[in-house]
């Protein structure tokens, strides 16, 4: 014999299987954010996974069926010859499995199914971890480094409350401290909004803030609020150009910002298309109609909408269009209370101009802050602070003398006298005595 081939046909002729598939097939998941934007992106990511990762097949998860099929068809054109049912497992051409297999007919979607089944039975998925096992505990402990192990309010939770007629609470947060407070209060939804441009960065409008800056705010909030549903607002300029740009930006908000969903403003056809594309990519979307701050150049300022019959009907139609696009909720006229407004945190005349009329001030935190800062200033100026109770770090008189001598040798006589006086005052106030 010149050549002996030990083939995977052994699965059929030696082991009695109906096909060659039980020989392990290495399948690599396309991670979130690497295939949702376009078919071209899916192909590029799949090729990298095969060429650089050494896998035999790629798998895409979830999303709208039409979007997965579109990507799968592109993979087929690029050399993918098999798709397994709804789990969309695609195998790029290689010599590992025969390309002419069983002669099965193409499916209704135009994709070639594996000859044996249209389910994912023959693809070796990871086995579920046994409840109570060490591996399961380890998996639970590392749920998400940004969010911590405790899972919290989800879109399903909100739908349940809506069905039962239970009101849903929504408040903004922009950093770790505000997120901790929102979380502790049991708020349902925490929105990291582009209103940060105004209440945090001091701009006159929400337009200047960028996606990169928003991601910093999102990450800080994600670390502080493990319980609420976290929604990251897409800032102006990161989703208007195309559906692909919108999906890319939304993916970043979830992957890099640690959010659960995104919010976008407006109801123009391009915004509806963007919302639909993002939902099809597997991302929950909150819409926003009526007074949309990103559209102030068109609206002529921060002007509420729906004050006439025609305007009100337009708001309703826009909300229905966003619902049809797959949005799980819609904000009306911006009626999500801003953290700083709700607490009465800002007392500046600039902020007073843009505080919405619908906002109720539930606290006077700004007054408390101003009072505390004024008292601090006064106590420092009168040398009341820091007092003995706030200077707990003391040294013995012997060390004080040695320190004063060292300062004298350095030519710092004034500092030496001040150190001696401070030590003397500390002694009078009950400081440590010299060791006997």
Report the run of H or E that residue 381 belongs to, with start and end: helix 365-381
Report pLDDT for 131: 47
Are the C-beta atoms of residues 289 and 295 closer than 8 Å to each other? no
Of 28-32, 156-160, 280-284, the one with minimum mean pLDDT is 28-32
Identify which has the larger pLDDT, 110 or 152: 152
Average pLDDT over residues 378-390: 90
The answer for 8, left when phi > 0, alpha when psi is -120 to 50, beta otherwise, is alpha
Pairing between β-strand 189-192 and β-strand 229-233 as defined by DSSP bridges: parallel
Question: Rounded to whole angstroms, how far apart are CA atoms 196 and 153?
Answer: 23
Residue 390 DSSP one-character state: G
Question: Rounded to whole angstroms, how far apart are CA atoms 74 and 248?
Answer: 19
Label residue 127 by pLDDT band (50, 70, 90).
very low
Inform me whether the pLDDT recorded for 341 exceeds 70: yes
Identify which has the larger pLDDT, 181 or 120: 181
Question: Rounded to whole angstroms, how far apart are CA atoms 219 and 215?
Answer: 6
Question: Rounded to whole angstroms, how far apart are CA atoms 409 and 397?
Answer: 19
Inform me whether the pLDDT recorded for 86 exceeds 60: no
Label residue 213 by pLDDT band (50, 70, 90).
very high
Question: Rounded to whole angstroms, how far apart are CA atoms 268 and 289?
Answer: 10
Inform me whether the pLDDT recorded for 295 exceeds 90: no
Which residue, 241, 275, 245, is CA-closest to 64? 275
Are the C-beta atoms of residues 233 and 194 closer than 8 Å to each other? yes
Dig out the tokens for 136 from the structure.
């399961």
Report pLDDT for 130: 52
**pTM: predicted TM-score of the whole model, two decimal places:** 0.69
Question: Rounded to whole angstroms, how far apart are CA atoms 344 and 338?
Answer: 10
Of 11-15, 16-20, 51-55, the one with minimum mean pLDDT is 16-20
Report pLDDT for 182: 97
Question: Rounded to whole angstroms, how far apart are CA atoms 207 and 195?
Answer: 9
In tens, the pLDDT along 256-285 reads: 999 999 999 888 898 999 999 999 999 999
Report pLDDT for 35: 84
Which residue, 20, 22, 17, is CA-closest to 9? 20
Question: Rounded to whole angstroms, how far apart are CA atoms 247 and 277?
Answer: 7
The per-residue b/e assignment along 215-224, b for 16 or more CB within 10 angstroms, e otherwise, is: bbbbbbbbbb
Question: Rounded to whole angstroms, how far apart are CA atoms 242 and 284?
Answer: 18
Are the C-beta atoms of residues 217 and 258 closer than 8 Å to each other? no
In tens, the pLDDT along 186-196 reads: 999 999 999 99
Report pLDDT for 268: 86
Report pLDDT for 80: 56
Q: What does each C-alpha distance from 253 to 213, 297, 419, 422 come to in angstroms?
A: 11, 26, 54, 54
Q: Which residues pair with 286 in a beta bridge?
A: 263, 329
Identify which has the larger pLDDT, 218 or 93: 218
């Amino acid at each position: 014999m010149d050549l002996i081939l030990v083939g995977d046909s052994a699965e059929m002729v030696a082991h009695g299987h109906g096909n060659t598939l039980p020989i392990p097939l290495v399948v690599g998941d396309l991670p979130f954010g690497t295939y949702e934007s376009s078919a071209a992106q899916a192909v590029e990511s799949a090729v990298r996974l095969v060429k650089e990762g050494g896998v035999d097949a790629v798998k895409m998860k979830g999303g709208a069926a039409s979007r997965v099929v579109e990507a799968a068809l592109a993979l087929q054109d690029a050399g993918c010859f098999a798709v397994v049912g709804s789990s969309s497992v695609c195998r790029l051409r290689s010599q590992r499995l025969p390309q002419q297999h069983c002669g099965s007919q193409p499916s209704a979607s135009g994709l070639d199914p594996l000859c044996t089944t249209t389910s994912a039975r023959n693809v070796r998925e990871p086995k579920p971890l046994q409840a109570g096992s060490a591996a399961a505990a380890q998996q639970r402990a590392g749920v998400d480094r940004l969010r911590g192990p405790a899972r919290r309010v989800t879109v399903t939770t909100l739908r349940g409350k809506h069905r039962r007629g239970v009101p849903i609470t929504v408040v903004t947060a922009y950093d770790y401290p505000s997120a901790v407070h929102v979380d502790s209060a049991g708020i349902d939804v925490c929105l990291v909004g582009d209103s940060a441009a105004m209440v945090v960065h001091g701009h006159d409008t929400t337009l200047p803030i960028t996606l990169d800056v928003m991601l910093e705010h999102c990450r800080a909030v994600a670390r502080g609020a493990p319980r609420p549903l976290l929604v990251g607002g897409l800032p102006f300029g990161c989703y208007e150009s195309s559906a692909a740009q919108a999906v890319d930006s939304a993916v970043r908000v979830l992957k890099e910002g640690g959010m659960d969903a995104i919010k976008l403003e407006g109801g123009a056809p391009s915004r509806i298309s963007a919302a639909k594309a993002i939902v099809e990519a597997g991302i929950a979307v909150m819409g926003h109609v009526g007074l949309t701050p990103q559209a102030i150049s068109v609206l002529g300022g921060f002007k509420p909408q729906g004050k006439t019959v025609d305007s009100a009907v337009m708001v309703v139609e826009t909300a229905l269009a966003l619902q049809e696009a797959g949005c799980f909720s819609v904000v009306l006229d911006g009626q999500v209370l801003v953290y700083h407004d709700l607490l009465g945190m800002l007392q500046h005349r600039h902020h007073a101009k843009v505080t919405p009329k619908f906002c109720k001030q539930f606290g006077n935190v700004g007054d408390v802050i101003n009072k505390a800062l004024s008292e601090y200033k006064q106590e420092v100026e009168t040398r009341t602070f820091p007092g003995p109770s706030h200077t707990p770090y003391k040294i013995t008189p012997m060390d004080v003398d040695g320190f004063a001598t060292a300062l004298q040798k350095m030519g710092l006589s004034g500092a030496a006298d001040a150190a001696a006086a401070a030590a003397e005052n500390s002694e009078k106030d009950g400081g440590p005595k010299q060791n006997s």
